[in-house]
A and B are shown apart, each in its own frame.
Chain A
Amino acid sequence: DGGITQSPKYLFRKEGQNVTLSCEQNLNHDAMYWYRQDPGQGLRLIYYSQIVNDFQKGDIAEGYSVSREKKESFPLTVTSAQKNPTAFYLCASSFRLGQGRNQPQHFGDGTRLSIL
């Protein structure tokens, strides 16, 4: 079955440490997104990518970095510069905007990140 796989499900970060969250999709989507969700809140965009080897900052990119070396993969690194990383991180993918406005974004199951 096609879908989005995020790993790990739970992640703990020590102070000063960088951690990387994995996101893989086999839906043949060009566009991929990372969102952050804080308790009781909606989702906010961290980074997005519409094509391989290209990505753009979203609304809350400070303290995060990404890469897009393959169409299927869009890993997110939470750096030590992100002072409040505890949150639920969701990866999504979709067709690019021009390919179908009615196409929903499909989401992975998320990664819960906490500080030790």
Chain B
Amino acid sequence: AQKITQTQPGMFVQEKEAVTLDCTYDTSDQSYGLFWYKQPSSGEMIFLIYQGSYDEQNATEGRYSLNFQKARKSANLVISASQLGDSAMYFCAMRTNNQGGKLIFGQGTELSVKP
């Protein structure tokens, strides 16, 4: 069965420091996509970064980077130089090859950035 696991319900980080949010996944597909979304308290889901299963290099988008270890089936999100506005829920998701390419989401990690 396809599954996303986020084992950190909550994380704290000091402003300006880096933080890693963990994500492991399970799939028997050879081709898949991994996404990270940010959900502020207002509720909208904001796309942050994408990693394809065949991508050889780790994805980066500004302060966000993805530490992709395919053999371990992990896709951890690294946020560098944390800002107060980074406080939010963060979801790891996998795009499947069935059900119209639906996203399977993890339970999320609540990140709190301390001043």
Residues of A within 8 A of B (CB): 31, 33, 35, 40-45, 48-50, 56, 58-59, 88, 90, 92, 94, 96-97, 101-102, 104-110, 112
Contacts and interface: CB of A to CB of B under 8 A. Distances in A.
Interface of B: 4, 31, 33, 35, 37, 42-47, 50, 52, 91, 93, 95, 97, 99-103, 105-108
Contacts of A105: 35, 47, 95, 103
A14 B46 CA distance: 32
A67 to B, nearest CB: 16
B53 to A, nearest CB: 9
B44 A33 contact: no
B101 A107 contact: no
A105 B48 CA distance: 11
B44 A107 contact: yes
A48 B50 contact: no
Contact of B101 (A31, A35, A44, A108): A31
